[in-house]
Amino acid sequence: MAEQADEKETGKEKKVVKKKATPKKAVPKTSTAPAPVAAPTAVSISAAASVMTGGGSGKAAARKARKGTHDIGLGVKIPDHECKDHDCPFHGAISVRGQILNGTVVSDRMTNTAVVKVERNHFVIKFQRYEKRTSKFSVHNPPCISAKRGDRVTFIECRPLSKTVSFIIVEKREDKATSSPDDKAKENK
């Protein structure tokens, strides 16, 4: 057993008091037999199934559990046609957030993807004039909307779906885009 020394100072002389360390108490050994297991309940089975399938108890699991059409909450019209696309904001499990933009579909030749052109006016301070600027976005085109070339659409930002696609078309707008001279030439051929 180890001994410890405490020094106490009283006046001018020092006293050394030796204390014995207290021994540690022995911990009783527990039995190695396994504890009795209760029969599995329906709740524990469903919880185990959700863990095995990757489902949780959060928002993602709630979205996976939803069936049918649901409103995305931004005041856009829900499409009449129902699709089985996983990346559809109305019938799938993807959520939308961020920018809301309007544009014209330039190309719809890719599978479930369209290229949308957005025009905006930019003010040039030096000349006190506006100039037109355009941007092209690759957007997901759900089968329930299936926007075609020339359609005016509203699209919203979402999580990245691929290297270039981070937006989803959520609505076809009623107003048609004005046709360009190139479109008129193609129609005449």
Band of residue 82 on the pLDDT scale cut at 50, 70, 90: confident
pLDDT of residue 61: 52
The average confidence (pLDDT) of the chain is 76
pLDDT of residue 92: 86
What does the pLDDT look like over 121-157, one tens digit per residue?
999 999 999 999 999 999 999 999 989 999 999 999 9
Taken in order of first residue, the domains within the chain and their CATH numbers are 77-178 (2.40.50.1000)
What does the pLDDT look like over 57-70, one tens digit per residue?
555 555 554 556 77
DSSP state letters, the chain: --EEEEEEEETTEEEEEEEEPPPPPPPPPPP-SPPPPPPPPHHHHHHHHHHHTT--SSHHHHHHH--S----SSSPPPPSS----TT-TTTSS--EEEEEEEEEEEEEEETTEEEEEEEEEEEETTTTEEEEEEEEEEEE--TTT---TT-EEEEEEES--SSS--EEEEEE-SSPPPPPHHHHHHHH-
